[in-house]
Amino acid sequence: METTRPAKEKKKATRLWLIVHSWLALPLWVLIFFVCLTGTIATVSQEIVWLAKPEVRANRPTPDAVPLGYDAILAAVEKAEPGVAVSFISRPVKSIFALDVFVSYPDGRTRSLFVNPYTGAIQGVGGVFDFRYFMRALHGWLLVPFVGATSWGWYLVSALSIPMLGSLVTGLVVYKKFWRGYLNPRLRLRNGARIFWGDFHRLAGIWSVPFIAIMAVTAGWFLIQHILADNNITVSTAGVPPVVAREDVPAEGGAKAPWISLDRAGQLVREKFPDLSPDFVALPSNAFSHIVVGGRGAYPLIFETANVNPYNGEVEWTRRVSDRSALELVTESMRPLHTGDFAGLWLKLVYFLFGLLLTMMVFSGMMIWLKRTALATAKLVRDINAERALPSVEGVREAAE
């Protein structure tokens, strides 16, 4: 058996993969660069707000101060802002952040209040411009408005998962024996731009393989998710949203029936499900809706919720990890895997670092192409000049045809 021929064919195949690799991202490189960059910023947008706005920080008044319960928070907000209607209280996962308390004012405006978890003091009011949501919208759907459940911007961005996954696979095929790069990292700084960007692209690439795979697969799910939604296909097992039975709502008395307290609702949920931490509580949104207590359980990627009847305290409905199908556990893990917001600040910083690397992968890929084709063009010009002196190879071929 000849040994040269398979090697030659292998080389030809590698070349084909290089061509595919080059075409995958290059025609849209500015958009992909932009999406990677805004996504990288979005990962740490909450921390950026924390640095920029002191009012979202949870400062302890004394070292031994303990966080207040939901009832004390509710009372403090209603005392400071008489007449507001509180709809939702959320205790951010990271204890350095103030509580988010969603309220509506009698004039119809809704706002998020930043409340100190130890004192109940309203430290600030969120505005209409929310940096976190803005970065998310810019990254996720290029601010294209949603009509119904979808936005074409969402399709445009999530479809980039296809070239991203393709770039990852073809990149590893083209980079011969890439595993050697882990043991012998090479980043030549003094051999010109082409060499530097090439080394950077390969080195950053091999170290980002798991991260790029996570981003491409989760973003691919976002694409599939919206295709399913647009075609009315659901994988949800949640069923019909629960309501409080009409006979449970007190009818007599002529005045608004009182709800059980929020701390009591949290306690009732805790008694039933000791592993569910009550990270947020939603107040009933009408006479027939529940107090919803939710938070992370044993599996940190998915929020679990329990619905408590506000009149009799029964835990009437749950949406826990065990209530979900295996497929839902996979699909609902996609978003936290994409954002990295489930293990604390350290993971966000890891995501931020690899996000920067990925952004630079797009840029370095473009730079390699730019430098390579610049050389090729210079060579082409040389060849054309040479051909003018001699009858060209092309000319001979054309004459023969």
Partner 1 sequence: MTGVKVKTNPHAGLPGGRHRWRFHLSVLLLVIPIVLSPKFFREEALFFGDSGLGQRELGEKAIGPWHVHVAEYMANAPTDQGLAGHMKTFAIRWNAEDADHIKASYFRIGKPRSLRAAGVVLSGGPYRQMADVPIPERVKPTDALWLTVEGWDGTVHQAAIPLDEASPATIAWLKQRGETR
What is the contact surface with partner 1 in residues (CB under 8 A)? 15-16, 18-19, 22-23, 26-32, 34, 83, 85-87, 103-111, 128-130, 133, 137-138, 142-145, 147-149, 153, 156, 231-232, 249, 251, 253-257, 285-289, 366, 369-370, 372-373, 376-377, 393, 396-397, 400
DSSP β-bridge partners for residue 57: 97
Give min distance, CB of 22 to partner 1, in A: 5
- In whole angstroms, what separates CA 43 from the centre of its chain? 7
User: Of 75 and 376, which has the nearer Cβ to partner 1?
Assistant: 376
Minimum Å gap between C-beta 316 and partner 1 is 17
Based on CB atoms, which residue is closest to partner 1, 35 or 302?
Answer: 35
- How far apart (Å, rounded) are the C-alpha atoms in residues 348 and 53? 19
In the complex, what is the shortest distance from the CB of residue 9 to partner 1, in angstroms, rounded to a whole number?
15
User: How far is C-alpha 130 from the chain's CA centre?
Assistant: 16
Min separation Cβ 386 and partner 1, Å: 12
Give the list of residues 6+ apart from residue 88 with CB closer than 8 angstroms, or none.
100, 101, 102, 280, 281, 282, 283
Nearest to partner 1 of 20, 345 (CB atom) = 20
- Nearer residue to partner 1 within complex by CB, 134 or 299: 134
- Residue 284: CB minimum distance to partner 1, A: 9
To partner 1, the closest distance from the beta carbon of 311 in angstroms equals: 12
Q: Which is nearer to partner 1, 15 or 272 (CB)?
A: 15
Distance between CA atoms of residues 287 and 197, nearest Å = 62
| H-helix or E-strand spanning residue 30 | helix 29-43
Nearer to partner 1, 237 or 373 (CB): 373
d(CA 199, CA 205): 10
Least separation in angstroms between CB 155 and partner 1: 12
Closer of 217 and 243 to partner 1 (Cβ): 243
Using CA atoms, how far apart are residues 325 and 318, in angstroms rounded to an integer?
14
- Please report, for the chain, how many H helices and E strands are present, in that order: 14, 8
Residue type, 19: I
Measured CA to CA, the distance from residue 128 to residue 110 in angstroms comes to 9
Long-range contacts of 304-310 (CB under 8 A, 24+ apart): 304/273, 304/276, 306/269, 306/272, 306/273, 306/276, 307/242, 308/260, 308/265, 308/268, 308/269, 309/244, 309/248, 310/244, 310/259, 310/260, 310/265, 310/284
Say how far apart CA 317 and CA 308 lie, in whole Å.
7
Nearer to partner 1, 189 or 399 (CB): 399
Query: Closer CB to partner 1, residue 388 or residue 397?
Result: 397
Decide if 304 contacts 318 (C-beta within 8 A).
Answer: yes
* Least CB distance to partner 1 at residue 302 (A): 24
> What element of type H or E holds 87?
strand 85-90
C-alpha 305/C-alpha 300 separation (Å) is: 13
Give least dist CB 115 to partner 1, A.
Answer: 17
Q: What does the block give as tokens for 140? A: 């996720």
